[in-house]
Amino acid sequence: MTCGLTPLTVSTLLSGLRSEPPLVQCLTNTVVTNFTANVLLALGAAPAMTDIPGEAGPFARLASGVLINLGTPHAEQRTAMLEAANAANDAGTPWVLDPVAVGSLPVRTALAAELLELRPTAIRANASEVMALAGLGAGGRGVDATDTAEDALPAAALLAQKYGSIVAVSGPTDVITDGVSTVRISNGDALLTRVTGGGCALGAVTAAFLAVADGAVADDGADIRGRLAAVAAATAVYTLAAELAARQAAGPGSFVPAFLDALANLAAEDIDAKLVAA
């Protein structure tokens, strides 16, 4: 079933996030920590890169949301990730799994399987990663997808139904599903794929929006609420900001500062005028 995401729902969730900034714990890869932190700050959230054993679990109990990104899963961080996921579950903290390059690489694939059993609140990945995670594909070419988001929708629905997760599949049109309802968002720009962390930081933004998922959402006729609305809104805000930034950028180098500015300055009128969702 396809569900609509309205501009008012996105604006309401973004406003809630900015008015009460969530604390987002990021156990993420070493390549993207700075960019991810800056994205969260620009959005209005508070980042914390707390990813060592003995601290990851206690911090997950305090955080508003948690990101677990498997981009560079060294041994100590793998222990911390499992610790954080278990603690998040105990505390009722929403957490996001980003299974970077899962499928052909054995260490992260085994770790992803363990984390799946802990039932992430949301899974954010490219199409090939989603298919590999569901056991329906071998993964992409490193971090690059070789499948489309629509190709991955059956795998995404399977994961959502089995683990109770919201699954967001990135692509030119992003696909977000809870296993029953599906939202498609066709905003964004290809420059996001030409900077380090363009996809990974969206996982952190998703965790930030999940932290405000239970907040008031205006009764605007939208078909979706709660976690599905929050994950879809995170994708919408992120891709809309990329679209606005690309209009000012001469290339990847100037895109990054323009993107951070666009995240900070995105307004309800921008969302109302430019959101393409179905």
| Cα–Cα dist 195/253, whole Å | 8
CB 39 within 8 A of CB 239: no
For residue 260, give the nearest of 278, 242, 275 by alpha carbon.
242
Asked if residue 49 belongs to a known ligand binding site, the reply is yes
| Cα–Cα dist 75/118, whole Å | 19
Asked if residue 170 belongs to a known ligand binding site, the reply is yes
Asked if residue 197 belongs to a known ligand binding site, the reply is yes
Q: In what order do the strands lie in the sheet with 95-98?
A: 46-48, 23-27, 65-69, 95-98, 122-126, 166-170, 174-177, 182-185
Output the known binding site for ATP: 124, 170
Output the known binding site: 49, 124, 170, 197
Output the known binding site for substrate: 49, 197
